[in-house]
Amino acid sequence: MPESFQVTPPTPWTGFLRQDGRKGIRNLILVIYTVECASFVAHAIAAGEEDTHVIGFSGCYDNAYAIRLMLALATHPNVGACLAVGLGCEYTQPARLAEVAAHSGRPSDWFYIQEQGGTRSGTACGKAKLAQLRKAIQASAVRTPMDWSDLVVGAECGGSDGTSGLAGNPVVGRFYDFLVDRGGSAVFEEVVEMIGLRDILLSRAATPAVAAELDLAYRKAESYCKAVRQYSVSPGNFAGGLTSIEEKSMGAFAKSGSRPIQGVLRVAQTVPHSGLWLLDSVPDDHFMQFGYTNPNDTEGIMDLISVGAQIVLFVTGRGSVIGSPVAPLIKVTGNSRTFERMNEDMDFNAGTVLSGERTLDEAAMDLMKMVGEVATGRPSKPEALGHREYFVMYKHQDTPGLAAGCHA
Amino acid sequence: MTAGTTDLPTRTRCFQVHAADNVATALDDLAPGPVHVLGVAAGQTLVATEPVALGHKIALRSLAENQPVIKFGVTIGLATAAIPAGAWVHLHNCRSQVDERSSHLDVKTGAALDTLYA
């Protein structure tokens, strides 16, 4: 195992202590709609409100996975208060979402649009409730010192090209080593982008039990890809020089760094203790016919936020113009050309490692400084641009409950 | 990684990750002609036989049909034709061992050719 780079990390910062003991780097209000029919009003409520983000679920029929994901975001460390907005006919219950958020100590409220009268009256009702919630979290905010050991960082890559595996992901991987060595938590995902790397993945397990967990997750991802006849590789990846999923996998896996993997997390499961973790967002075997694992980058980023990541790193060689609600997104590219062309959206250029301007360790330490600044409150570029893309889908990771639901 | 490489002429740089690799990744849009290798085999040169775009792969030595294409020290695919040293290695001469669909994509854009739009 390589020695950690010995330099002084950025000074600790001040965060927000929640009643459940979690520590956030933002103090946000989250508006959650419970069916597509309520989405317009939910966005109208949040319009012009700097501290308010929106997520929601489009389906009328409920889904255990989607509810767990929304609850994980409602009780996320960066979220101080929650407002659930329903139409009134759907299965997903806004009152129950608000109840769980309130139980975690977060001021919360909810209403049905049908009971308020419609678009304008529903929006007015929501705006009034929002003002009350803001007053409540401003009055009760508890500031707390935070350092690297309080931080959970997620990493995902998308729009990868031939530079992602050479620079973007290795720089994130080295930063992950630094973070883990300072007691922080690092989460990576995309098991479908480890196809071909079973032995390499298993060799990173912290214990034999973890190796068995990793093997299960790997085999599930492999059979999933075979079943849907789609590997996690896109036209942009090929155009960017990646020829096969095996090649993309090796590049993607580099973002995990070199520290031992502590275990496999499921979506919406809070990180149990510090260290490096693999997030499994692949649907369980029985339900594979019902949907894709990560249909787009935004969906994967939501999964990382659901395990408690206060900041997410997004590595994109080709460039991207997405952001995220709840946790700021920091966009990293290993492609200097992309960094120059899309400078208004890209936060960090890891391509300087390839040109010889910085070593891998220097670039990773610069990335760590940037993460520290964003944790301190400086908005990342997508955050400042107002990007708040989200995606909550029907998915099933419900094998433990399967027996109870199969007696028909 | 290698320092002191910023003074190399542009359009001539590629990067070899692992000593066992038989391909390197273009760091510039390579024109046919001399190419400098950075990374694990820094200091070596080869001759590009055709243009290779940034992020794409160039063969470091000649490969026979069905020979493994190696990058990061692992097999990332098999050669589907003989590949001369200095040639562009991509979908037209290399295939995944697991993903059948990627052998049916447009070699320039990566767009799927097996999807109907009618």
Cross-strand partners of B24:
B58
Strands A79-86 and A108-112: parallel
Which of A79, A85, A137, A133 is CA-nearest to residue A326? A79
Backbone angles phi, psi at A67, to 5 degrees: -65, -45
Does residue B52 belong to any structural domain of this protein?
A: yes
Evaluate whether residue B55 is within a structural domain: yes
Contact B55 A354 (CB under 8 A): no
Q: Which residue of A has its CA nearest to B26?
A: A162
Whether residue A148 is predicted with pLDDT greater than 50 in this model: the reply is yes
Q: Report the alpha-carbon distance of residue A310 to residue A304 in Å, rounded.
A: 9
CA distance A240 to A233: 11
For B1, which of A165, A247, A360 is closest by C-beta distance? A360
Mean pLDDT of A93-109: 97
Q: What is the pLDDT of residue A283?
A: 86
Residue B72 contacts by C-beta under 8 Å, 6 or more apart in sequence?
A165, A247, A250, A251, B17, B18, B21
Lowest mean pLDDT among A147-156, A188-197, A382-391: A188-197
**Record: contact A250-B76, CB cut-off 8 A:** yes
Determine contact, residues A304/A278, Cβ cutoff 8 Å.
no
Q: Any alpha helices (H) in A16-78, and if so which ranges?
A: 39-46, 64-74
> Which chain B residues touch A161 with a CB distance below 8 Å?
54-55
Q: What residues of chain B, 35 to 94, have a C-beta less than 8 Å from chain A?
A: 38, 53-57, 69, 71-72, 74-77, 89-91, 94
CA distance A319 to A300: 17
Domains contained in chain B, number: 1
Q: Which residues of A touch B18 (CB under 8 A)?
A: none
| A48 pLDDT tier (thresholds 50, 70, 90) | very high
B93 occurs within a structural domain: yes
Determine the Cα–Cα distance for residues A310 and A297; give it in Å rounded to an integer: 17
Average pLDDT, chain B: 88
Report the amino acid identity of residue A147. Answer: D
The pLDDT tens digits for A305-361 are 999 999 999 999 999 999 999 999 999 999 999 999 999 999 999 999 988 889 999
Do A162 and B25 make contact, defined as CB atoms within 8 angstroms? Answer: yes
* H or E element that contains A266: strand A261-266
- Spell out which chain A residues touch chain B, with contact meaning CB-CB distance below 8 angstroms: 161-163, 165-166, 195-197, 200, 225, 229-231, 233-247, 250-251, 317, 335, 337, 353-357, 359-360
Domain assignment present for B116: no
Distance of alpha carbon A83 from alpha carbon A42, whole angstroms: 9
What is the structure's pLDDT at B83? 98
Which domain range does residue B49 map to? Answer: 13-104
The percentage of residues in chain A with a pLDDT greater than 90, rounded to a whole number, is 78
pLDDT, one tens digit per residue, over A177-217 is 999 999 999 999 989 889 889 999 999 999 999 999 999 99
Identify the sign of the CA torsion A330, A331, A336, A342: negative
Confidence at residue A9, expressed as pLDDT on a 0 to 100 scale: 52
**Residue A408: its pLDDT value, please?**
43
- Model ipTM value: 0.86
Instruction: Answer whether residue B114 is part of any domain.
Output: no
Residue B34 lies in a domain: yes
Which of A36-45, A61-70, A289-298, B7-16 has the lowest average pLDDT? A289-298
Instruction: With a cut of 60, say whether residue B52 has pLDDT above it.
Output: yes
- CATH code of the domain covering residue B53: 2.30.130.110
Identity of the residue in B15, B76, B111 whose CB atom sits nearest the CB atom of A246: B76
Q: Which residues of B touch A240 (CB under 8 A)?
A: 55-56
Burial A299-318 (b: 16+ CB within 10 A, else e): bbbbbbbbbbbbbbbbbbbb
**Alpha-carbon distances, residue A25 vs A75, A148, A304, B107 (angstroms):** 14, 12, 16, 45
The tokens describing A86, both together, are 């329903």
A353 alpha carbon, distance to own chain's centre: 26
> Within a domain: residue B2?
no
Residue B99 has pLDDT above 70, yes or no: yes
B8 within domain boundaries:
no
